[in-house]
Every structure is written in C-alpha cells, then in structure tokens.
Structure 1
C-alpha cells in the first residue's frame, strides 16, 4: 500500500520557541522512523509551503487540502492528512463534501502532544490512521485516540486529554457517491457567516446588531431540540427581515447531541414560521462547512434549504431514531 502524508501544520509537528509552540518539527523523519517496521508500506510526504496553526485555517486552506489530494490521487492508494486539532473537524467535514466520490480513503489525524515530547499521542494516532486507510471502503474520516469517525460527524470535545474527538451521532465512515448539485463544483471561498449563540436575556436589538449589516448566512445556536428566545419582543422579526433579504438563518443546538425539530415546541415553531431552517442532527462543524460549501457553489437562494436537508457526505441521519420526550 502506498500512502501519502499531507502535513498542514498543527501540534503534531510543533516545537518550542520563545513565543510558545509553533509548527516546525521534522514530521517526515518522525513518520519514517515510526513506520520502519512496516515493509508493506511505501509512503510519500507533502506539506503546505507555509505551515499553519489550525486556529488560522480558512476555507482557502480547506481548498488547498482538496487540491493537493486531487493532484496526487492517481499516485497513491490512500491519504493521511496531518492537521492541527483546533479546526481538524472543520477541515475533515469540508473535505468530505468536496471529495465525495473521490474513491480512495482519506483520514485526518493530529495530536494533542507533539512528536518527541513526553506523553505524545502522535505515534498512536499516525499508526491508527495508517491502519484505517488500509480499508479501501473508507471515505473521509477522522482517526483519533483509537476511534475512527466519519469526516462529517467529528467534533472536538477535549483539549485536555488524548480523547480529543467524539461523534454525537456516529455514522459509517464509508465512501459516498458525489452529489449532483446541478452545477460544476466550485472551490471553497470565504463567506460572511454570523454565528450567534442564544443566551438568557438576549434582546432582539442585540440580535439585530450582531447580524447587521446582513451576512451571507446566520447560524443561530439555540437550545435543546431547536428553540430560542422567540418570546422576546422583536426577536423573530429579525429572522423575518434577514430571510426576506436573502440571508438564511440556520438553527443549531448548543447541546452536543441533539436533532433540531422546529415543530416540536411553540418556541421553535415561532422560529420556523419566521423563516429559520433547522440543521437536523449536524454537528456545528458539519453545518458551518456545509454552508460554506453550498454558498461557494452560487446555488439559487431558494434551493439552499433543500440542499441543507440533503445528505451529501454522511452529515445527516436520514432514518432518524426516535427522540425521547424532552424536558425543557
């Protein structure tokens, strides 16, 4: 098996500097040493020209990953992307949408502690990722601390221990056919997406200020199964105005494990009636990157709700499990 490692930066290859940890370690040498007992493997190594701390990652960086993988697709059997953990789940989801139908395994991994430092989890994560990509049926996925997670289902849950990622709604990390959007696939580009977290006492005036001037889209992080302060005077009017101006408002939950149902409670129904769109059971990372992906395609605005509710890369549970009676 021939595996290409794409190193983008992040903790896995960081070294100490007077400013703190920064990318700069010899990750290629570390991997060669780590896998010297695997004569069945041949490996290639590529890296970003300018390594990044993943907290600086942008949609253009997602596209750099996608472009690199496409450029090397025919040369290798499988791919491991070495990425900083802060936005690893975003990049894995972004690659999942853009590389649906890619036909070869791509696994993202990283580390909480760099190569060469005491207690480093880098060796275990790299070895695990290599074992994962040996399965040709794998699509886009995240491997971390012994767990393989579908690329659109991972969320970072800890910065303090080795188990950095979880999956609120596990799904198979399987290859999926490319969706037909009806337009040629366009690259990722930046979009002005406002992320607003509902809090007790938030006023409609504050909500309006947070979304003025009108962004390209709004992600409203509400509560539970999809409710927000809809009883606050003027709150739903802000959603109505955004919607009528062509800015979609997508409702997520602050609960890590949830499935938005805007028809279940009156407080959610009011958001729906104002024009909000429920994000079903997508993680925050999957919903944000999906919005970026869809907006980058310049689809008609009227089609956006349909595509948000269409499973493109395993980000949605199509056959939803029953929801237990929720206590608000």
Structure 2
C-alpha cells in the first residue's frame, strides 16, 4: 500500500474563518475544527495525512503586507520536507496578490501550493467554504505543480488570477485563455520580501499634471499607472509627460497597465500612449494588477537597479506573462 500523502493547511485569516464581533466580521473561527469536520463528512481523496498550521497572527486579508508574504514563504520552505503539498487558506481581498508573490519567490519549489478562501464564512447559509477547501485539497493531493489558486470549481495559475467579484461565488478569473509556457527565469535563492513604497495611480478624465505630481511626492520606489485600453492616457494634458518623465529620470520606475481586464499594453500603438513611451514608462504587457504589484515588490526586494526593472518586468519569471509577450533576459542580466 502506498504511503499516505501528507498535506498541510496553512491558515492566514480572512472571510473563510470569520465570526461576528462588535466591530463586524473578523477572523477568529476554529478553522482546524471545521477542516476536521469537512474531511470526515465529505468525499475527500483517500490516503491523506493532514496537518494544520497558522500564521503567528491571523489577519483580515485587507491587512496583508509583504511581511506576511515572506512569513508564508518561510513557512513553506521550513516544512517542505514534511509534506507533499500545501493548502493556504487566505482572505479573498488580497488572495491573488499573495498567490502571485509566493509564486515569484518559489519558482523552484517542488511541492504543490494551492491558495483558496471563501466569499462566505464556514457555517453560514450559502457558504462556499466547503467546496473551495475540498477542491483545493484535491488539487494539492493530486500533485498539481507550482503555486495555484482554487475557487468555485476552477484551478487558476497563481500568477494569472484576478478578483472580479465580492458577491458572486465565481470570484476569480484568469482574463486570458492561454497559459504561459514560455521559458521561465525565476531566481533560485531570492532575497526576502521587504516593504517598498509602490504607488498605484488610476487615470481618470480631467487628471492634471499637478495632481499626478502631488500623488507621487515624495517619490515612491515605483509607480503603477492604471491607464486606458492598451496603455493610452491624456496625452494632451499640459505638463503630464514632463511630470512622468521627471519621476523616471529621478530613478522611479513607472509601469503602465490598463484598467481593462483583458488587454495587452503597447505604448507605441496609439498616439495617446506614445507620450508615456517617450518619457520612459514601462508597459506591463498583459499582467494583472495583482501580478504587477507583487512583481515590483519582488524585484525591489532583490535590489534590482531602476534601469534594469524594465528588463526583469518583461521577463517571464513564474508564468505571469503569456508566451507571445514574454521577453527573454539578456545574457548580462541572466548572468547576474
């Protein structure tokens, strides 16, 4: 008889274990008891030996930071030899951010890591917690490779998921049908995540250069500019090009993505995007906001110089870029 597959649940907090309190719903339910009850009552895969752990402090996922990402990563590495797979129970608000961050840091990790959560807590009417937990457990026990996210009967790549609903059970999607099978260039022994000041600025009709300067003063470590369409912005707005260019020239990378879920950034396609190309902004290709944010935090934590951020951002590290938009690392950067 083959040995039992050992799967560990890691509870970080979030809706799945929330209970009512005078302040509103907050983490605090007995997740371990819920998991044990599910395993005994549901049709779970046979031959499993389950473990359970939780972060030092469980939190609403709205309070997750890169420090928590690193705690998850450190835990997975420390327990790698003891388990065949892991299920990370996480709140939905930043679930996709955390999955992408862990995937970028664990490109050589040879155990399945499946993130999941729920829209409604365990034990409440209409809860989706049981189905998501069983699905994630089945995926982890089945040996699915890499970091993934399971939600509402769908298994998504950890670097390609984005949250689309806080109401519907189908809370996450991959906006792109294709999966990235381009060559990957992860870092074998990455430095730990540290918090970096990555500002997210959303363009809207009427935004001025003065407002952009105010929103990026003092200068952040990087800026994600959520533009329109394929990367267009208000090119006729006086001094906006100069404001963005000044920021880039001073060493702050400006990464342009779209407010659209399904697009690919091309800063040379439209005249209304070329001003961003001229001032040195970097297109985010087809990465989600969650992936771009996690990737910038990761690259900054590695001490990547500002003039190399674009090369690494355009390099497929953990499946976050589709094949036809992924660039290969230059020989110099690959060797570094």
> What is the TM-score of this pair, normalised by structure 1?
0.94
Within 1, Cα distance between the matches of 2:145 and 2:21?
A: 38
CA deviation map 1:211-254 (0-9, x unaligned): 11111011000000001112101001011101110000000100
Q: Which runs of 5+ in 1 are unaligned?
A: 322-328
In structure 1, the partner of 2:156 is 149
Residue 273 (1) aligns with residue 278 (2): yes
Within 1, Cα distance between the matches of 2:72 and 2:280?
A: 35
CA drift at 1:161: 1.4
C-alpha change, 1:116 and 1:15, in structure 2 (3 Å) is same
> Conserved in 2, the CA contact under 8 Å of 1:150 and 1:170?
no
CA drift at 1:17: 1.2
> Conserved in 2, the CA contact under 8 Å of 1:189 and 1:292?
yes
Please list, as runs of the form range in 1=range in 2, the aligned pairs for 1:309-324 lying within 5 A after superposition.
Answer: 309-320=314-325
Within 1, Cα distance between the matches of 2:325 and 2:190?
A: 29
In structure 2, the partner of 1:212 is 217
CA deviation map 1:168-225 (0-9, x unaligned): 1245499x966248xx511111111111100001111111111111110110000000
Residue 195 (1) aligns with residue 205 (2): no
In structure 1, the partner of 2:48 is 41
Q: 2:29 aligns with which of 25, 30, 43?
A: 25
> Conserved in 1, the CA contact under 8 Å of 2:16 and 2:121?
yes
In structure 1, the partner of 2:133 is 126
C-alpha change, 1:83 and 1:179, in structure 2 (3 Å) is same
CA drift at 1:303: 1.2
Within 1, Cα distance between the matches of 2:103 and 2:203?
A: 29
In structure 2, the partner of 1:77 is 84
In structure 1, the partner of 2:16 is 12
Q: 1:67 aligns with which of 61, 74, 81?
A: 74
Within 2, Cα distance between the matches of 1:171 and 1:27?
A: 35
C-alpha change, 1:17 and 1:55, in structure 2 (3 Å) is same
CA deviation map 1:112-140 (0-9, x unaligned): 11111111100000000011113324210
C-alpha change, 1:66 and 1:180, in structure 2 (3 Å) is closer
Q: Which runs of 5+ in 2 are unaligned?
A: 327-336
CA deviation map 1:279-316 (0-9, x unaligned): 00000000000000000000122211100000001110
Within 2, Cα distance between the matches of 1:310 and 1:173?
A: 12
C-alpha change, 1:177 and 1:74, in structure 2 (3 Å) is farther
> Conserved in 2, the CA contact under 8 Å of 1:150 and 1:171?
no
Q: 2:232 aligns with which of 222, 227, 231?
A: 227
Within 1, Cα distance between the matches of 2:180 and 2:72?
A: 19
SS of corresponding position for 2:77: helix
RMSD value over aligned CA atoms?
A: 1.8
Aligned positions, number: 319
Within 2, Cα distance between the matches of 1:53 and 1:103?
A: 29
Within 2, Cα distance between the matches of 1:93 and 1:180?
A: 14
SS of corresponding position for 2:292: helix
> What is the TM-score of this pair, normalised by structure 2?
0.91
Residue 163 (1) aligns with residue 170 (2): yes
In structure 1, the partner of 2:115 is 108
C-alpha change, 1:107 and 1:171, in structure 2 (3 Å) is farther
